[in-house]
Structure 1
Amino acid sequence: MSARTPLEGRVAVVTGAARGVGELLARKLAARGVKIALVGLEPDELRRVSDRLTTESMYWHADVTDSEAMERVAAEVRERFGRTDIVVANAGVATGGPFPDSDARSWNRVVEVNLLGSAATARAFVPALLDSRGYLLQIASLAAITPAPMMSAYCASKAGVEAYAHCLRGELGHKGVKVGVAYLSWTDTDMVRGADEDDVMREMRQRLPWPANRTYPLGPAVDRIVDGIERRSAHVYGQWWLRGMQAVRGYLPGIVGTVGQREMRRIEPRLAESQGLRGGLVGAGGAADEKTRAEHAG
């Protein structure tokens, strides 16, 4: 007979669960006996993930930026599972390139999904978390700690969710609800692979100082997230060195501003040549988001 885990029997909601961090997190939580509610934009992929889980699960096709849809999901999760103990606000999209040349619709969408979608998720599920004295984990990024040229929308959105989650921790802690922020560097997901399809973006990333210049495997990062959920941690670091970045983050804008100018001057001719190749959301998740918006517009 296998030993029980501290998470066994809990109910977790994971947004952006069709692929990447969300998919693997759902699988690893299920392996610890957690019942899983999957939320995302790709019903076929969500069904595939749900069918592979080893515990009770169900999926919901919903856009996290749609507050009414998320309220409906929260009510249906409560009806299906009876409670919600853990919510992981993971859904996110990204775009890259110089801000003056960016597509305003895509830039705004990154902020809408990453920041406003996270807020809509919390707004829908906080009542259930208050009942269970549960845990909300906001997935942020190294981009919340340091700015980076060519990533203005993503950095703005992740800095926003970090600040918002810290505020929420102060508001809900005395009621028994814990709030955490998870930080990840470049991790092997569809989003990062999609960004790497842009030669200039890939080169800029590779020229970052070690250890920020490499892509990290997904599995160990998600293991750290699961451990953080089990401990109901205020801060979770997908890569070991990110914890140290907190101590120097006050110096980073100045450093990035100086080094970034030099790098942008160096690559400016290539940016002009490849301008037409960027502008939309990157990766398979970005494509799914753009497809959903196009269907709604039609």
Structure 2
Amino acid sequence: MGRVRGLDGRTAVVTGAARGIGAALARELAGRGMRVALLDLEGESLRDVARELAVPTCCVEVDVTDEAAMERAAVTVEETLGAPSVVVANAGVAEGGPFATCDPATWRRVIDVNLSGSATTARVFLPALLRNRGYYLQIASTAAFGSVPLMSAYCASKAGVEAFAQSLRAELEPQGTAVGIAYLHWTDTEMIRDADRHTALRELRAHMPPGARRTYPATSVAAWIARGVDRRRATVYAPPWLRCAQPLRPLFPPAVTAVSRWALPRLAERGPVPPTGLLGPGGEAAGPAGRPPAQG
């Protein structure tokens, strides 16, 4: 749909902006002259990020799964910075462990934040995006390419947001509003570093092909995403080589199943695989059932 007509002076919304990829992306977009609205549950961390940015900002402490609070957040953003031209649905959490023994509330929380929270984000900012013929970017993952064991909630949520964004694109692009999907691989965030502390998830990555195990700095990932925002890309790959993996997607499920047949029994021989709970400080802030809804 063509390139954004200059990001400078326009307003971007980034959810999950208190840390990790969201914070790095907020810095990257601010460096391109955008006003940035930062949304997250962690208010103090949001304000720390905002103090680094040399552009007008707006911090809203909000749970993306709380529809009423998100509606108030959308009003606050527009009153403070103007109607957004770019909205990035980045907020996400993860947990690991066998599906049979994971806490159902934690499993649902992953789906609620990653999938329902993305839909809520799109819904509350959609009027502004339609007025501005803007750009909505859904952060997905290579977990949408092929689901892996011990990550059922995360994989289901990322496959879900991919399908959601594809459906939304078909609805909105005839009206001049573009929708993109960003596929991210292993990124050096606190969530991934926490995952590596758990034997099961560390083993999961160890069984990937050597090149696919590499972890990328959040700053590099944010730069790739921002370039996609600037060009209103339908698909953004971070790292770019992931584009080459798209045609191979039909091969991933049987390959994962074949590896799991011998890897999981060997892992079980070492003892039970305990659930991880929500990973990283961001997951701790979200809580298995969420914190009390924050006021937008």
Please give the per-residue CA displacement for 1:265-287, whole angstroms capped at 9, x wherever unaligned. Answer: 11012351x52xx3410001001
Corresponding position of 1:281: 278
Corresponding position of 2:127: 127
Matches of 2:158 and 2:195, distance apart in 1: 17
Corresponding position of 1:251: 251
Q: Which has more helix, going by share of residues? A: 1
Alpha-carbon contact 1:41-1:292 (below 8 Å) kept: no
Corresponding position of 1:168: 168
Corresponding position of 1:159: 159
Offset of residue 262 of structure 1: 1.3
Matches of 1:234 and 1:171, distance apart in 2: 14
Matches of 1:271 and 1:181, distance apart in 2: 39
Corresponding position of 1:183: 183
Alpha-carbon contact 2:180-2:232 (below 8 Å) kept: yes
Corresponding position of 2:18: 18
Give the 5 Å matches for 1:155-234.
155-234=155-234
Matches of 2:289 and 2:247, distance apart in 1: 40
Corresponding position of 2:236: 236
2:59 partner amino acid: Y
Offset of residue 17 of structure 1: 0.3
2:68 partner amino acid: E
Offset of residue 109 of structure 1: 0.5
1:187 partner amino acid: T
| 2:287 is the counterpart of 1:290 | yes
Matches of 1:117 and 1:98, distance apart in 2: 24
2:104 partner amino acid: A
Q: What secondary structure is seen at the aligned counterpart in 2 of 1:59?
A: strand
Q: What secondary structure is seen at the aligned counterpart in 1 of 2:210?
A: coil
What is the alpha-carbon root mean square deviation over aligned residues? 1.4
Matches of 2:270 and 2:101, distance apart in 1: 13
Matches of 1:203 and 1:174, distance apart in 2: 45
Offset of residue 294 of structure 1: 5.1
Q: What secondary structure is seen at the aligned counterpart in 1 of 2:75?
A: helix
2:77 partner amino acid: V
TM-score, with normalisation over the residues of structure 1? 0.94
Q: How many residues align?
A: 289
Alpha-carbon contact 1:11-1:81 (below 8 Å) kept: yes
Offset of residue 75 of structure 1: 1.2
Alpha-carbon contact 1:200-1:271 (below 8 Å) kept: no
Matches of 2:227 and 2:291, distance apart in 1: 38
Matches of 1:64 and 1:211, distance apart in 2: 34
2:284 partner amino acid: A
Alpha-carbon contact 1:200-1:270 (below 8 Å) kept: no
Alpha-carbon contact 1:107-1:153 (below 8 Å) kept: yes
Residues 1:196 and 1:68: Cα distance change in structure 2 (over 3 Å): same
Offset of residue 241 of structure 1: 2.0
Corresponding position of 1:34: 34
Alpha-carbon contact 2:58-2:81 (below 8 Å) kept: no
Alpha-carbon contact 1:12-1:36 (below 8 Å) kept: yes
Gaps of 5+ in 2: none
Offset of residue 6 of structure 1: 2.2
Corresponding position of 1:145: 145
Alpha-carbon contact 2:144-2:158 (below 8 Å) kept: yes
Corresponding position of 1:111: 111
Alpha-carbon contact 1:146-1:252 (below 8 Å) kept: yes
Matches of 1:270 and 1:240, distance apart in 2: 37
1:69 partner amino acid: A
Please give the per-residue CA displacement for 1:165-218, whole angstroms capped at 9, x wherever unaligned. Answer: 000000000111000000111110011011111022112212211322221222
Alpha-carbon contact 1:111-1:154 (below 8 Å) kept: yes
Alpha-carbon contact 1:106-1:279 (below 8 Å) kept: no
Please give the per-residue CA displacement for 1:153-175, whole angstroms capped at 9, x wherever unaligned. Answer: 10000000000000000000011
Q: What secondary structure is seen at the aligned counterpart in 1 of 2:39?
A: strand
